[in-house]
Amino acid sequence: MEKILITASKTYEVLTGEGLLPRAGRLIRPVLSEKAQKLCIVTDDTVDRLYSGVLSDSLTDAGYETVKFVFPPGEASKSLDTLSELLEFLADHQLTRSDALIALGGGIVGDLTGFAAASYLRGIDFVQVPTTLLAAVDSSVGGKTGINLKAGKNLAGAFWQPSLVLFDIDTMKTLSYDLLLDGAAEAIKAGAIADRELFSYIDRVDRLDAPETIRYLSSRAIEIKRQVVEADERDTGVRQLLNFGHTVGHAIEKCSDFSISHGHAVAMGMVICARAALALGWSQEDCLSPLLASLEKFSFPLACPYSAEELCNAALKDKKRMGDTITLVIPAALGDCRLKKIPISQLNEFIKAGLS
């Protein structure tokens, strides 16, 4: 079992290893209040069938009473309606300020559960148990929680750190290769931001779905996220580096009506961004080639089916809340990204350079 300590407004550990779910109760007990009695497992139908039983048994063995809130999988559940149902559920089951929530699932489960934990009784503890690689390397660490509004994704939420992150690598066995890729994209992103060594590692590796590859990639990605979150927990500066590939990636997701998943879209977004930065002379070296090599090694589909105009319109619709400029993340060198503010009028030209 590997431990990474996150020192944000709350200090907590990310535990990564095999066989952690059956030991969850014992691992969770030290981080919760001694007065904690009741834990609410929050999950979706898919993950519920796979892992609720083992988690719940382990919590019961550790002396906790458990209740369970299950909702339909998918982005549509990350809503004020589900949040509302969950909060009423917690009140109906009379969870106290000392009790806690356990988010068992991917990013949607974690984001929603975290926001409920932040809001219920003005804030109670919660534990992240990510069961997708994407959630493990990205959303479960750093305390960004939230839900979607009708006007857009993640428009309401809270900064609320978990008390513990438990990443049981065994759960990756039930993940499709496509879902593994979604997580791998964020790990490669972390490498592009701050760890060029990661690209040499991928160069030497045989397959993404080997436990040792997953362990290495998640460990590096979490470590880089730790550094960035500790430097800027509330996302007013350097934390924006984590958005490498995301401005264009979000636009791709939207243009596809979310049929292209987040990680796949971010992979395309990173390539477009690296190619544009190279063409415009904003990179000091060729970051595109190693990025392409890593993504292609894992067989990412990288052909972007949208025009610069379509992507630009989608991106700007999302960014009107930001004013007249847009902050891009540019790879100055491999493993060294920088923030660059450009007028929104230049975005179309930038994306065009990235597509050609």
**Contacting positions for a copy of itself (CB under 8 A):** 35, 80, 83-84, 87-88, 91-92, 94-98, 115, 118-123, 144-146, 149-152, 155-159, 234-235, 320-323
Closest separation in Å from C-beta 122 to a copy of itself = 5
Provide the minimum distance between the beta carbon of 204 and a copy of itself in the complex, in angstroms, as a whole number.
39
- Report, in Å, the least distance between residue 338 CB and a copy of itself: 21
Find the shortest distance in angstroms from Cβ 88 to a copy of itself: 6
Q: Which of 96, 39, 33 is nearest to 66 (CA)?
A: 39
CB closer to a copy of itself out of 115 and 300? 115
Residues at the binding site for NAD(+) are 131-132, 144, 153, 171-174
Provide DSSP, 214-238: HHHHHHHHHHHHHHHHHH-TTSSSG
Q: Annotated binding site for Zn(2+): which residue ranges?
A: 186, 246, 262
The contacts of residue 294 (CB under 8 Å, 6+ apart) are 188, 191, 199, 202, 203
Instruction: Calculate the alpha carbon distances from 151 to 315, 319, 321 in Å.
Output: 14, 12, 11
Strands 325-333 and 336-343: antiparallel
Complex with a copy of itself: residue 149 or 293, whichever CB lies closer: 149
CA distance 105 to 1: 20
Cβ-based nearer residue to a copy of itself, 149 or 210: 149
- Minimum distance of a copy of itself from residue 258's CB (angstroms): 18
Residue ranges for the binding site? 131-132, 144, 153, 171-174, 186, 246, 262
The answer for residues whose C-beta is within 8 angstroms of residue 46's C-beta and 6 or more apart is 73, 105
DSSP one-letter string for 146-209: EEEETTEEEEEEEE---SEEEEEGGGGGGS-HHHHHHHHHHHHHHHHHH-THHHHHHHH-S-TT
Q: Closest CB to a copy of itself among 146 and 335?
A: 146
Residue 90 vs 180, nearer CB to a copy of itself = 90
